[in-house]
Amino acid sequence: MESFVHLRKGTTPDRLHADLGGLKDDELGRGGFTGRTAQLYRRNDPVGYRAVGPLAPVDVLADALKPTDSTDPAGSPLLLFSNADCRISLSRRDREMPFFARYIDGDLLSFVHKGSGLLETEFGPLRYREGDWVYLPKACTFRQVPDNETTLLMIEATEEFRVPPAGPLGRHFPFDPNRMIVPEPAAMDDDGRDEYEVRLVHEGGPTSLVYPHHPLDVVGWQGDNFPFTFNIADYNVVLSDTVHLPATVHLFMQATGVYVMNFLPKRAESAPGTETIPWYHRNADYDEIAFFHGGDMYGVPMPPGLISHAPQGVHHGAPEKMRERARRKREEISHIGWTTIAVDTRRRLIPSPEVLANNLGAH
């Protein structure tokens, strides 16, 4: 619920997220930056805490995790986080699948962190490369054939992924569907095998379907339910010089309870006094996952493959030292070079045992 009543009490700056005068800007918000908010202006750093318990934030490096598909062609991606609406996994495959896969519990949206290759799908072949988003509709049959080791961040949603409404941006919405790559049908002939396994990936599974013929035998298709790739280089970044924009401006796709965003390199806010680093916040209604693809934040390199989990209701944000550095170097650092994939979920995410075992904050 939004309210028309907005109050101001005590010592506050004249402008939102600007001219803080040494105070710490802390947002307590509902609805993932789109609902009611309170800006709390603190004396001390709100992320200067030590967390103990199941809602402690988690940081883990993708390279420290070992999906079984990284060593065994018949292996599987590694589950990272899950709730009733989605499962977030990591794949690091370097050899072709000896089977065909079909995800049964929901749509599959994967980000290519490293590598390139081919997805053979029943809709036709689909090439992928670093920086691609790869969308596979629920129950679509496919096989991955990597050119080289391929690292994927995989988001499986229980409900359909869809492009969010463009709103006032209209046709200038950041996601231009004309830049999607959609496969052309190319039926595949039998290759001499007696049988072909289609592995159904699902909760409590897998289940195998064994066909006497090649399962990718589609000669044509029509409709509005199909796989595609979309590269982040084609995503249009929305900018403001006078205020740092909230995460929801960078929304890419969404499913029920799951929101996927692209934070890409951009010009830093230039208006005098404006804070260029996102304010401290407690996202009261959403867990947040940040996957750092690469780049830097105000000249500070971001570790590629770092995965951060901020549970809802827990303060997070760049440390005060980085904010002070950004203010000091405002004139010389005019560009933010980060490339980060973000996933917000309405339900609380449960980290897997492998994630907790490799939590950087626990060592």
Percent of the chain with pLDDT over 90: 62
Q: What string of DSSP letters covers 223-249?
A: SS---EEEEGGGPPPP--SSSPPPGGG
Domain boundaries, the chain: 24-48+233-358, 68-232
Residue 360 pLDDT > 80: yes
Pair of tokens at residue 345: 């979920």
Q: Cα dihedral angle (203, 144, 153, 177), rounded to 10 degrees?
A: -110
Single-letter code of the amino acid located at 193: R
Residue 281 assigned ligand-binding role: yes
pLDDT at 261: 95
The per-residue pLDDT for 144 is 98
Give tens-digit pLDDT for 198-213.
999 999 999 999 999 9
Same fold, 24-48+233-358 and 68-232: yes
Long-range contacts of 193-197 (CB under 8 A, 24+ apart): 196/100, 197/98, 197/99, 197/100
When pLDDT is cut at 50, 70 and 90, the band that residue 2 belongs to is low
244 noted as active-site residue: yes
What is Dmax (Cα atoms) for the chain? 78
Name the CATH superfamily, with its identifier, for domain 24-48+233-358: Jelly Rolls (2.60.120.10)
pLDDT tens digits for range 249-283: 899 999 999 999 999 998 888 888 888 888 888 88
Instruction: Specify the pLDDT at position 362.
Output: 64
More confident position, 170 or 312: 312
Q: Assess whether pLDDT exceeds 90 at residue 221.
A: yes
**pLDDT above 80: residue 298:** no
Residue 204 has a pLDDT of 93
Is the pLDDT at 331 greater than 80, yes or no?
Answer: no
Q: What is the DSSP string of 86-143?
A: EEEEEEEE-S--SSEEEE-SSEEEEEEEE--EEEEETTEEEEE-TTEEEEE-TT-EEE
pLDDT per residue as tens digits for the range 124-144: 999 999 999 999 999 999 999
Q: Which of 244, 250, 293, 309 is catalytic?
A: 244
- Say yes or no to pLDDT of 321 above 80: yes
Burial class (CB in 10 A: 0-12, 13-18, 19+), 180: middle
What is 4-35 written as a DSSP string?
A: S-----SS--SSTTB--TT-EEEEEESTTTTS
Taking CA atoms, 293 is separated from 111, 306, 329, in Å, by 10, 8, 24
Going by pLDDT thresholds of 50, 70 and 90, the confidence category of residue 1 is low
> Does 363 belong to an annotated binding site?
no
Is 287 assigned a ligand-binding role in the annotation? yes
**CATH superfamily of domain region 68-232:** Jelly Rolls (2.60.120.10)
